[in-house]
Amino acid sequence: AQSVTQLGSHVSVSEGALVLLRCNYSSSVPPYLFWYVQYPNQGLQLLLKYTSAATLVKGINGFEAEFKKSETSFHLTKPSAHMSDAAEYFCAVIPSGGGADGLTFGKGTHLIIQP
């Protein structure tokens, strides 16, 4: 069975600083990987995804993530944090080619932006 682990339930950074949210996956073959963002009292919105093409993936709002097979990681980064980035972030995994029971989500990381 596949799974994802998000290191750190809460991450706090200063406005303008680098954002790094960690995600490691467990899968026998390289899966598809996703990052979702959830703003307060809203549903989840797709930030970016890795589907076995380019290993460096760019998403919305200046976020990007790099798939590293050797490290089984898919960490999310943004060079300069903005107050509007404060939200909950979820990493999710599915076998490449899909699966009937869909995505498996990590427990989430709450990103706090300090002024």
In the complex, minimum distance from the CB of residue 56 to other proteins, in angstroms, rounded to a whole number: 16
In the complex, minimum distance from the CB of residue 9 to other proteins, in angstroms, rounded to a whole number: 6
Binding of other proteins at residue 89 (CB under 8 A)?
no
The whole-angstrom separation of Cα 72 and Cα 56 is 14
Using an 8 Å Cβ cutoff, are 36 and 48 in contact? no
Name which of 37 and 113 has its Cβ closer to other proteins.
37
Position among 11, 17, 86, 103 found at the interface with other proteins (CB under 8 A)? 103
Burial class of residue 103 (count of CB atoms within 10 Å of its CB; 0-12, 13-18, 19+): middle
Question: What b/e readout covers 1-38, taking b as 16+ CB neighbours within 10 angstroms?
Answer: eeebebeeeebebeeeeebebbbbbebeeebbbbbbbe
In the complex, minimum distance from the CB of residue 14 to other proteins, in angstroms, rounded to a whole number: 24
Binding of other proteins at residue 54 (CB under 8 A)?
no
Binding of other proteins at residue 17 (CB under 8 A)?
no
Q: For the chain, count helices (H), then strands (E).
A: 0, 11
In the complex, minimum distance from the CB of residue 39 to other proteins, in angstroms, rounded to a whole number: 11
Chain positions contacting other proteins, by CB under 8 A: 9, 32, 34, 36, 41-46, 49, 51, 90, 94, 97-103, 105-108
